[in-house]
Structure 1
Amino acid sequence: MNPRLPLRFAAAFVMALCAPAISIAQDPWPGRTLNYVVPYPPGGTTDILGRTIAQRLGEALKTTVIVDNRAGATGTIGGAFVARAAPDGQTVLGTSIGPQAIVPHLMKLPYNPAKAYEPVSLVGTVPHLLVVNAATTPYTSVAQLIAAAKEKPGSVAFASGGNGTILQMQGELLRLQSQTTMTHVPYKGDVPALQDVIGGQVTFMFAPIAAALPHVQSGKLRALAVTSASRMPALPSVPTMTEAGFKDFVVEQWQAIYVPAKTPAAIVQRLHQEVSRILQDRSVAASFEKLGVTVVDGTPAQLAQRQAADSQRWAAVIRDAGIKLD
């Protein structure tokens, strides 16, 4: 008997055992339906952006991408779902600044947003307008609004889309910087908050540009300032918060994409490349601009840096303002 035969049989047996594993490892990603989780209800900015990206991502990857709305707890229910998902590239999170950089400083979460995900893309930013009712308030500048708050402490109230949102944080930042006493009135969403400012029930609000601009143009609201670094082409006469006398008040909501931590780097890179191609499409950029979103197309590293910087910034505001969830 050839003494080498047992060795050959052993080698063949090992190769047979390894073959399924090798086949699985070489299967092309994604290979099956992707789950694009949006931690907010349908119809909002994050949801609309997510549906646009999901449709085109499915076309690019030749698969189906399903948008899965898992709303609640200021975006953290959907965030927790993705944090628990398998790191195989099949689950994607399209979210915003609130759950990633603000809410973790207001409530105890079952996951750490700084460690639970791999950053994929910084999609874009959304500036806000400080608006008041044009008919029921006499204020034509931020200085006049602050003067009224100082004259009658507690008489000026600001609305937001809910506790822990970037809209609340801007009001709190204004209160801190102006050293005034103001009342925060949280709502279940940006739309009802804005409606009560239009109705005169609340003094002012930092509102997303896309939601507020039509009402400013119709004369129902008066814009006192914009939170972006420079003036907006659509409202060239409206000053920035910096021009209004408030330093370090460039505040923009950002939209971003993540996957669960430990997702293979090759999948993260491929996702980023495909999302980047989508964002560079002129028709996509134009549709996003109608929502008030300025496309950024940031890298994973840029997203991580932005998240860390904003987390530190809003943690300080929350601490100094003594903000707590109701």
Structure 2
Amino acid sequence: MTLSPPLSLTRRSVLGSLAASLAGGPAFAQGDWPAGKLITWVVPYPPGGSTDVLGRNLALRVASSLGTNVIVDNKAGATGTIGAAFVAKAAPDGYTLLGTSIGPQAIAPHLMGKLPYDPIAGFEPVITIGTIPHILVVGAKQPFQSVADLLAAARAQPGKLAFASGGNGTILQMQGELLQQQSGVRFIHVPYKGDTPALQDTLAEQVQFMFAPAAAALPHVQSGKLRALAVTSAQRLKALPAVPTMGEAGLRDFVVEQWQAVFAPAKTPAPVVQRLNDEIGKALKDPAVLALADKLGVTLVGGTPRQLGDLQKADSAKWAKVIKDGNITAE
């Protein structure tokens, strides 16, 4: 004969479970997630960029390891903030992710006024995908042989030399602004609709210089069409061992790397965030992903959710100061 538990014990168990679910949100027992449900990986940029290409390759591997489907949804616009806002408003259940970069999460919020999301409080950091160093380049016919030469010319001609960027509010612009603030010189900022046209006009000598993503600039540097004056990474690049860092060129604390990362909506359960961190971390070690990242000029990172959160907060504070000190707006 099977004995039923006392009514009072049953009631206490039900009430305890109900209270726990109300207090802590959805309960995710081990094995309940992802349970075959579709996961959406939002990329807040158009298809074809490094964030999109790398995100799609990681999504395929995460789908395989989780035994579910992961689709990549490009929600481009407003410097990446449209896609970020979409994910911030999504259910915190682990089925909607944001594969993004430094712009929407640490720069744009300080330029664009009030956004429909909080870049820090609105998300759970999952993992850092990687970082992209930049190269300060000038056209081959420009007279500058070093950063010191460029700054000396700028001091001799205040507000005459121009630098290109991929647009207002981009990390490329921010580096030019940081250079002005650290050196005390003034340049003209020429924003373009994307990194490619900015690089084309730098090659054509229409502007004096730009901070270009390493992968985009390297072929032109190696062919002699561009001259590399410095790199923005903490260490010299293996591909350009003779080119100094900005620090070695005399600019202290000038380390700028464009990071890519994955975030989930705020209040996504910690076990789900950790599972995502584990699965994406494994995908980052895949030889094919490593080869792709090398081709894209991305140094893969990985790490913990907390490390990504610390990185985001530090960069947000850094660029907030640059933007405020330079009285920079999105227009």
Please tell me the residue identity of whatever aligns with 1:124: G
Partner of 1:130 in structure 2? 136
Amino acid at match of 2:286: D
How far the C-alpha of 1:281 sits from its partner, in A, is: 2.0
Residue equivalent to 1:249: 254
Counterpart selection for 2:117 from 101, 111, 114: 111
Counterpart amino acid of residue 127 in structure 1: P
Equivalent of 1:311 in 289, 310, 316: 316
What is the deviation of 1:62?
1.0
Cα distance in 1 for partners of 2:158, 2:48 equals: 37
Deviation at 1:307, TM superposition (A): 0.5
Name the CA distance, whole Å, in 2 between partners of 1:298 and 1:145: 37
Distance in 1 of aligned mates of 2:197 and 2:69: 34
- Choose which of 171, 174, 190 in structure 2 pairs with 1:169: 174
* TM-score when normalising by structure 2: 0.90
1:296 aligns with 2:301: yes
SS class of match (2:251): coil
What is the CA–CA distance in structure 1 between the aligned matches of 2:45 and 2:161, rounded to whole Å? Answer: 29
Deviation sequence 1:28-57 (CA, Å, 0-9, x none): 322211100000111111111111111111
Looking at structure 1, the residues matched to 263 and 237 of structure 2 have their Cα atoms a distance apart, in angstroms, of: 29
1:179 aligns with 2:181: no
What's the counterpart of residue 58 of structure 2?
A: 53
Shift of 1:187: 1.1
* Residue of structure 2 equivalent to 1:65: 70
- Residue deviations 1:178-198 (CA, integer Å, cap 9, x gap): 111111111111111111111
Distance 2:32 2:177 in 1: 49
Distance 1:239 1:178 in 2: 17
**2:242 paired with 1:237:** yes
Take 1:301 and 1:270, find their aligned partners in 2: how far apart are those partners?
14
Secondary structure (helix, strand or coil) at the match of 2:106 reads: helix
**Alpha-carbon displacement from aligned partner over 1:100-150 (angstroms, at most 9, x marks no partner):** 111111112011111011000011111000001102x11111111111111
Shift of 1:204: 0.6
Asked if structure 1 preserves the Cα contact closer than 8 Å seen for 2:54 and 2:292, the reply is: no
Q: Deviations over 1:184-227 (max 9, x none)?
A: 11111111111111111111110000000011111111110000
Q: Distance in 2 between matches of 1:250 and 1:209?
A: 14
Unaligned runs of 5+ in 1: none
> Are 1:101 and 2:70 an aligned pair?
no
CA distance in 2, matches of 1:256, 1:71: 16
Does 2:37 align with 1:29? no
CA distance in 2, matches of 1:308, 1:244: 27
Equivalences for residues 147-166 of structure 1 within 5 A: 147-166=152-171
For residues 153 and 248 of structure 2, the distance between their equivalents in structure 1, rounded to whole angstroms, comes to 19
State the Cα distance separating 1:320 from its structure 2 match.
1.0
1:298 deviates by 1.8
* Letter of the structure 2 residue corresponding to residue 168 of structure 1: Q
1:268 has 2:273 as partner: yes
CA distance in structure 2 between the partners assigned to 1:82 and 1:69 by the alignment: 12
**Identical aligned pairs, as a percentage?**
63
Distance 1:295 1:111 in 2: 27
Q: Which residue of 1 aligns with 2:24?
A: none
Quick one: distance in 2 between partners of 1:158 and 1:70?
29
Structure 1: which 4+ aligned runs deviate by more than 3 Å? Answer: 24-27
308-317 or 279-288: bigger deviation? 279-288
Corresponding residue to 1:204 among 206, 209, 215 = 209
Q: CA deviation at 1:25?
A: 6.2
